[in-house]
Amino acid sequence: MTAPSPHPPSPQPPVSTTARTEAQGGDRRLPGDIDMWVMVLGDLFFFGCYFIVYMVFRAQSVEEFSAAQRHLHIGVGVVNTVVLLTSSLFAARAVIAVREGALDGARRLLWATGGCGVLFVLLKIYEWHDGLSHGRTIHDEFFSYYYVFTGLHLVHLALGLLVLGVALRELRAVGRQRPTIVEQSVLFWHMIDLLWVVIFALLYLMR
């Protein structure tokens, strides 16, 4: 797998603004903190296990799964993906804004992130409602996975909104902002985005 870098991967010097915690040794630093990485890596591992279990069960009844998967609206899924990707763009920009000391900008960007998150939830509710009103319930094996995975993802998204709220509160306090809090929150948000990219490909596209 090659790195699809948008520009040549030149070794970059560490960004040293007053707000950015310096690397311990060398020009490498951990974004956020180790605690949040324990969460993110653990979550990725366990979600990975869930996805593999889904694929194992799908392999046992490909026809049924594939037929059910074709009921999903890829269009809604694409819009959902782009909404979440955009929210991540705002979140990533917010971290840079905090490092630059542009706190008002960072606050606006975090609100925009949360806004996109709420939009995602609304689209998901519409999709669930549409599915249920067409009788696609958990009696269908594929849809049981669909509801569990998207539901679990929504739980994470709700947690993510809470965590964004923590970051916003941190930015409100005058003069004692800790950029690492914003970094940690945003890290969690990106993980939600990353998991959705896998869920989208797995449930909507690989049919």
Partner 1 sequence: MTSTATLPADGSAAPQKAGKREVWIVYWAFTIFYLALTIGVCFLGRATPPPRPDVSQAQAAAWFDQHQLGIQIGFTFLLMIAGGAAIANGIVGYFMKRMSSGKMLAYAYIATMGVGAIPGFQVILVCWLTAVFRPDREPRILYMLYDLGMLSYNGSLGCFTAAYTVVAIAVIYDKNHIFPKWFAYVTIWQIVTELLASQMWLYKSGAFAWNGMITLYLALVIFGVWITCFLALFRIAAKRESAQTPALYEPEGSR
Partner 2 sequence: MPPTTTEASKRDKRAIGVSWAVLAAATVLAWLLTPGESEATTTVGKELVAVIVVLAAIKGRLIIRYFMEVRHAPRWLRHTTDAWLAILWTTLLTLYLI
Could you tell me how far CA 200 lies from the centroid of its own chain? 12
Q: How many helices (H) and strands (E) does the chain have?
A: 6, 0
141 binds partner 1 (CB under 8 A): yes
Round to whole Å and give the CA distance between 150 and 203.
10
- Binding site partner of 191, from partner 2, partner 1, none, Cβ cut-off 5-8 A by kind: partner 2
- Binding site partner of 122, from partner 1, partner 2, none, Cβ cut-off 5-8 A by kind: none
127 binds partner 1 (CB under 8 A): no
Instruction: Identify the residue among 42, 61, 70, 166 touching partner 2 (CB under 8 A).
Output: 70
Round to whole Å and give the CA distance between 190 and 105.
19
| Under 8 Å between Cβ of 94 and 186 | yes
Q: Render 80-116 in DSSP notation, one character per residue.
A: HHHHHHHHHHHHHHHHHHHHHT-HHHHHHHHHHHHHH
- Our CB check for partner 2 shows the closer of 16 and 137 to be 16
1 binds partner 2 (CB under 8 A): yes
- Binding site partner of 169, from partner 2, partner 1, none, Cβ cut-off 5-8 A by kind: none
Stretch of 50-58, 107-115, 139-147, 149-157 lying at the interface with partner 2 (CB under 8 A):
50-58
Stretch of 115-123, 132-140, 148-156, 196-204 lying at the interface with partner 2 (CB under 8 A):
196-204
- Our CB check for partner 1 shows the closer of 44 and 79 to be 44
Q: What is the DSSP letter of 11?
A: P
> How many chain residues touch partner 2 (CB under 8 A)?
70
Instruction: Identify the residue among 152, 161, 194, 198 touching partner 1 (CB under 8 A).
Output: 152
For residue 84, count other CB atoms closer than 10 A to its CB: 27
Residues 116-175 that bind partner 2 (CB under 8 A): none
Round to whole Å and give the CA distance between 186 and 90.
10
In 3D space, the residue among 47, 37, 39, 38 whose CA is nearest the CA of residue 152 turns out to be: 47
- Which residues contact partner 1 (rule: CB under 8 A)? 33-36, 38-39, 42-43, 46, 49-50, 53-54, 56-57, 138, 141, 144-145, 148, 152, 155, 159
